[in-house]
Structure formats: C-alpha cells, structure tokens
A = this chain, B = another copy of it.
Amino acid sequence: MTASIPPYQQPDSVGIITPQTQHFDQPIELSSGRTLSEYTLVYETYGELNVDASNAILICHALSGHHHAAGYHHEDDSKPGWWDHYIGPGKPIDSNHFFIVSVNNIGGCHGSTGPKSINPETGKAWQHDFPHLRCRDWVETQRALMQVLGIKQWAAVIGGSLGGMQAMRWSLEYPDELRHCIVIASAMKLTAQNIAFNEVARQAIMSDPFFHNGYYMDHGVIPKQGLRLARMVGHITYLSEHGMGEKFGRELKSGNFTLGTDEEVEFQIESYLRYQGDVFSDSFDANTYILMTKALDYFDLAREYSDDPVEAFSHAKCSFFVASFSSDWRFAPERSREIVDALIAANKPVSYAEIEASFGHDAFLIPNQRYEDVFRAYMQRVLGE
C-alpha cells in the first residue's frame, strides 16, 4: 500500500464500486418445487468484459457473504469488500485481465430477493415463508444474470466454503459453460459435526423470544440475541484453536487475577466474541442465516449420482483447482482431498494446494503468501487459455 494515498485510490484497488441491480420478471422454479414469480439480484463487477466475452469470472459467496467482494462503496469506507486481498489490479483474480462478477444470492439480506423482500402475492415481506433454497437454485439465478451480461461461458467459477459448493454444482449442471472451477476450503457434503454446529446456531435464533416463528418483522423486532449467539459459535469454529490462542491466549481484558476479590475476571476472547456477535446481529437477517445454513447442510454433491462422487464428476468438462488450509477443522483438508481423489478417479484435470495457515476456515479470506502465490499461478493458467 502506498502511503498517503487513500485506500480506494491505491493502484491495486478496484476503487469505488457501485452495486448494480438486475430484475428478472420470468418465474424461476426452485428445487423445493416452489416458484419465485420474479426476483432481483444485486451484484458488482470489477474489470472490463472483453470483446468475445471470454474473460468473465463468477465469484460465489459463502454463508454470511454478499456481492461486495472488492473495493469500496464510499470514499470514507473503513473496510473494503470481503475478498479485496485477492481481487483487484495485479491481484490473483486480476481485474486488469478479468471481468469479475460478484452476486448477492437470492435468500440473502443484502439487496437480492430474500426473506426481507416483499412477496408479490401477499404484498408483505416473505420472512420465514421464503422458499428453502439449495445450491442449484443459486446456480440458476447466477446463470440468468450471466445471460443478461452476454456471457456464454465463464472463464472460471470461484468460491470458498458454501461458494465452493456452488462452483462444483456449476461444473455438473452446466459443464459447457465454465472452463475452470475453483473450490476453496469446501466439501462435497458436511460432516455430522458441521451439521450439529449449524443446528445449534439455528436453535439459538429460533429459541429467541423475538423470533416469533420467523415473522419478527411483523412484530417490529429482531431476534438479536439469537443471531449474536449463532455468530459467536460460528466465529469460534471458523477460527483454529491455535489461531485463537495466538491472537488472545488467556489475556485479560483489564485488571488481574488477584485472589481475594469477587470481581468478574474477563478474558479478552470473551469481550471480542461478544463484540463480533453484536456487530453481526445488527446487520444480518435471522431468516437468511437459517436458510443459508440449511443450504449448507442439504448440499450433497453426489446424492443424485448414486452417491458416487466419481460418477458425479464424470459429467464435468472443466479443469479444477482445489485448495484447503491446514488448520481448517470445519472444512478440513481431508474434505478437499476427497474432492481431488474423486476428480482424479473421474479423469478430470485438477490442481490441489494444501496451505499451511493458522486461522482455520477463515484462512480463505486472509492474506497468506503461499495461498496468494498458488492462486495467482492458477489464475494465470486460466488467463492463458
């Protein structure tokens, strides 16, 4: 970063970005059997689409993500988009070369049609009645946007965690419409432990007395305590034990361990978690959180391919890049190796990088030299083709 130049004017920043909106009037039939008669997607783009529309990249977001992946919305934004370290001029996903599309998925709470939107049939907010979604529904809506943008084939579909699940689903559903599939810190299906943590988060939200069976907007309240707890659980599990120990150890927020008093001793980790929970519960929608965790739990790449991942991937035509992080225990390297093993058995081209990193599942969002190097190297292959 060059000193004295504001962040949004740094040469490697995509700068000030204005989200765009696309409305779709044609109904979409969802995998649940229900139909959205219309919907809106909010998205951002970085870089320029080339003449033959061959340089387009789709970014798929994870559980609590959204369309704002890079750059700043305002000159005084204190924070850039969630993947700014990896998207921008000269960065691994290089906006000098690629046209990068980042969409807020339906069901979300950042502008695309979701539980907070108006159900046109009732004239009231959907809230808990918003249809269940699966990754394939997001693939369909992303594809609708692709067509509006005049893109026939993605150079790459890229996602981490739940985003990686969408990328894999793309490779099976529309094998001719992407050349590369990049799957970071993901899995072909969740483990029982992962489902269990998601269930605790949902129960925390649903047992909040302000949840009102998911119709809290009707009551003018939000289940803030439930969301806060859900985020605290998520936050612990997306970090590694080691990373948390390095960052906080057993440091106290203030005071000391003096015996002989009955004061509350407070560890830094405690106030940090409460703070993270508070911030999240002020900005995220509870019904979206439930819906997104359910989509994670339900995802099972090979379910309709006789539970055989090799058979599933035999339908893919693209090349794959898979990456995992050593300390990620919710989407452990073992899960990524299962993907790689299935791809190899299905005779598909795949590169795999297992990256040493301290920060658990969150490592996929955090600066890390080796991650950056291998990601950049792979993206240059994407560019070269």
Would A245 and B203 be within 8 Å (CB), given that A32-B262, A229-B229, A298-B257 are in contact?
A: no
Find out whether the CB atom of B257 lies under 8 angstroms from the CB atom of A229.
no
Interface centre among A190, A192, A239, A267 (most CB of B within 10 A): A192
Interface centre among A34, A225, A249 (most CB of B within 10 A): A225
- Looking at the complex, which one of B191, B249, B250 makes contact with A244 (CB distance below 8 Å)? B191
A269 surroundings in chain B (CB, below 8 A): 192, 195-196, 199
In whole angstroms, how far apart are the Cα atoms of A145 and B225 in the complex?
43
This chain's copy number in the assembly: 2
A190 surroundings in chain B (CB, below 8 A): 250
Find out whether the CB atom of B241 lies under 8 angstroms from the CB atom of A200.
no
In whole angstroms, how far apart are the Cα atoms of A148 and B131 in the complex?
66
- The yes or no answer to A303 lying at the interface (CB within 8 A) is yes
Find out whether the CB atom of A329 lies under 8 angstroms from the CB atom of B241.
yes
Would A262 and B34 be within 8 Å (CB), given that A192-B249, A274-B203 are in contact?
A: yes
Interface centre among A196, A203, A241 (most CB of B within 10 A): A196
- The yes or no answer to A259 lying at the interface (CB within 8 A) is yes
Find out whether the CB atom of B250 lies under 8 angstroms from the CB atom of A189.
yes
- The yes or no answer to A233 lying at the interface (CB within 8 A) is yes
- The yes or no answer to A248 lying at the interface (CB within 8 A) is yes
- The yes or no answer to A212 lying at the interface (CB within 8 A) is no
- The yes or no answer to A207 lying at the interface (CB within 8 A) is yes
Residues 199-211 of chain A, each 1 if its beta carbon lies under 8 Å from chain B, else 0: 1100110010100
Residues 157-207 of A contacting B (Cβ, < 8 Å): 189-193, 195-197, 199-200, 203-204, 207
- The yes or no answer to A265 lying at the interface (CB within 8 A) is yes
Would A270 and B195 be within 8 Å (CB), given that A260-B31, A298-B257 are in contact?
A: yes
Find out whether the CB atom of A259 lies under 8 angstroms from the CB atom of B31.
yes
**A223 CB to nearest chain B CB (Å):** 11
Residues 234-252 of A contacting B (Cβ, < 8 Å): 236, 239, 241, 244-245, 247-250
Residues 302-357 of A contacting B (Cβ, < 8 Å): 303-304, 329
Would A131 and B262 be within 8 Å (CB), given that A191-B241, A195-B250 are in contact?
A: yes
How many residues on A have C-beta within 8 angstroms of the other chain's C-beta atoms? 53
A232 surroundings in chain B (CB, below 8 A): 196, 199-200, 203
Instruction: Find the B residue at minimum CB distance from A202.
Output: B270
In whole angstroms, how far apart are the Cα atoms of A176 and B260 in the complex?
25
In whole angstroms, how far apart are the Cα atoms of A298 and B277 in the complex?
23
**A43 CB to nearest chain B CB (Å):** 27
In whole angstroms, how far apart are the Cα atoms of A200 and B269 in the complex?
11
**A47 CB to nearest chain B CB (Å):** 36
A241 surroundings in chain B (CB, below 8 A): 191-193, 329
Find out whether the CB atom of A257 lies under 8 angstroms from the CB atom of B196.
no
**A198 CB to nearest chain B CB (Å):** 9
In whole angstroms, how far apart are the Cα atoms of A190 and B244 in the complex?
12
- The yes or no answer to A33 lying at the interface (CB within 8 A) is yes
Residues 129-147 of chain A, each 1 if its beta carbon lies under 8 Å from chain B, else 0: 0011010000000000000
In whole angstroms, how far apart are the Cα atoms of A196 and B244 in the complex?
9
In whole angstroms, how far apart are the Cα atoms of A131 and B260 in the complex?
12
A372 surroundings in chain B (CB, below 8 A): none
Find out whether the CB atom of A236 lies under 8 angstroms from the CB atom of B300.
no
A34 surroundings in chain B (CB, below 8 A): 262
A383 surroundings in chain B (CB, below 8 A): none
- Looking at the complex, which one of B193, B236, B298, B300 makes contact with A196 (CB distance below 8 Å)? B236
Interface centre among A132, A193, A197, A209 (most CB of B within 10 A): A193
User: What 8 A-B pairs come out closest when comparing CB atoms?
Assistant: A207-B225, A193-B241, A33-B260, A32-B262, A192-B248, A192-B244, A199-B270, A192-B269
